[in-house]
Amino acid sequence: MAESYLIRGASLADGSRSDILLDGGIIAEVGSGVSAAGATVIDADGLLALPGLVDLHTHLREPGYEQSETILTGTRAAAAGGFTAVFAMANTAPVADTAGVVEQELALGEAAGYATVQPIGAVTVGLQGERLAELGAMARSRANVRVFSDDGFCVSDALLMRRALEYVKAFDGVIAQHAQEPRLTQGAQMNEGALSGELGLAGWPAVAEEAIIARDVLLAEHVGSRLHICHVSTAGSVDVIRWAKARGIQVTAEVTPHHLLLTEDLIAGYDARFKVNPPLRRREDVEAVRAALADGTIDIVATDHAPHPSESKECEWDAAANGMVGLESALSVVHASVVENGLLDWTDVARVLSQTPARIGRIRGQGESIAVGGAPEIVLYDPSASREFSTADLAGRSVNSPYLGRTLPGRVVATFHHGYATVLDGDVRDTAEIAAAAGAARA
């Protein structure tokens, strides 16, 4: 029998309070004085109810790199952070460049039951940047792929990028570009500037990001296709995207939580938890991407959740892997970086962390408003809470978080996916319980 829940007295993003009944695989009732015999009642006084979060940029590592993460552990981490859907990047082994691989990822997500896993297909075969992958076959597959990216690598060949943009127009797809001119970033270890010179680390110049974005928005305009820019990190990139949007080009952009909060100064201690690509930038860049998210130039927040085993981070800086885990902390970091200072309100948070990423990725049943008949994908968040972030807050396989030991606001109290709870009282539910609940929901 499917689970049913009565969420009593939750605050909605617009400031109103309401009861919410999840029953029969839908939001069955929203209002005051709701009652339902047999439903599990959750006292949500003081809690904020938001549409389930949607991450357009997650590295789940399976198949091939299960020592870092699996689809099961990654979606547990997603649920812990309030996410009900994640888009899985293609840099797996084998690469997600065929219909068979993306369908395997989809099936593993369905079996895990913690969140919808929507595969992202590679743009080029093997992420090699030489010839287009099976874009049409992936789009026609059961995985219904609509986002394609070689993330981790830039599609640096302009002709190949043009052909990819032209190809995906036929099925309303989008190319998500990792904007990094490879010739300008060979051996790069951190943001290029005075600090990189002082620390003796090879610099990653802002222009290497900005030049690719400038090229690609012009290509997108030329062919009339959709382009998405991954992990925007510089003030100059914001300027280019703002210009492109004013010109009517179909470009969307994301910023990561860590680029909204952290700066290059943290690298002075050579702690590899802060090594990421693109690198942490200057305070001026952080302020620019915050302002761009507030004014709509940057459309969404996406985590770029990138788990690594301890040995890949607990080593000298030059040898350490790039990347940070971010699913469990994303909502709190957005709260700290753009809500507490008044740049965004909770309606905006629902837009940039749920509604718009679902629209960009063309995923159904996610990012919907909390209303009768809607999809029962909801996160309950306590905005008044505060905690020192620790490994106890991490539900995935890897612990390479840049926030360990940092005090963060807020706490995810409950997450509901397909109408059943994946997180209750702040704890991720047992795998067997979720499998049973998922099976009942599908019945």
Q: Which residues are tagged catalytic?
A: 304
Among 293, 221, 211, smallest CA distance to 254 is for 293
Q: Degrees (nearest 5) of the Cα angle 148, 152, 154? A: 70
CB 337 within 8 A of CB 347: no
Across the strands, what pairs with 148? Answer: 121, 175
Q: Are strands 378-388 and 420-424 parallel, antiparallel or unpaired?
A: unpaired
Q: What is the C-alpha to C-alpha distance for residues 208 and 221, in angstroms, rounded to an integer?
A: 21
Among 189, 198, 325, 174, smallest CA distance to 253 is for 174
Q: What is the C-alpha to C-alpha distance for residues 51 and 219, in angstroms, rounded to an integer?
A: 34
CB 55 within 8 A of CB 330: yes
Q: What is the C-alpha to C-alpha distance for residues 67 and 93, in angstroms, rounded to an integer?
A: 12
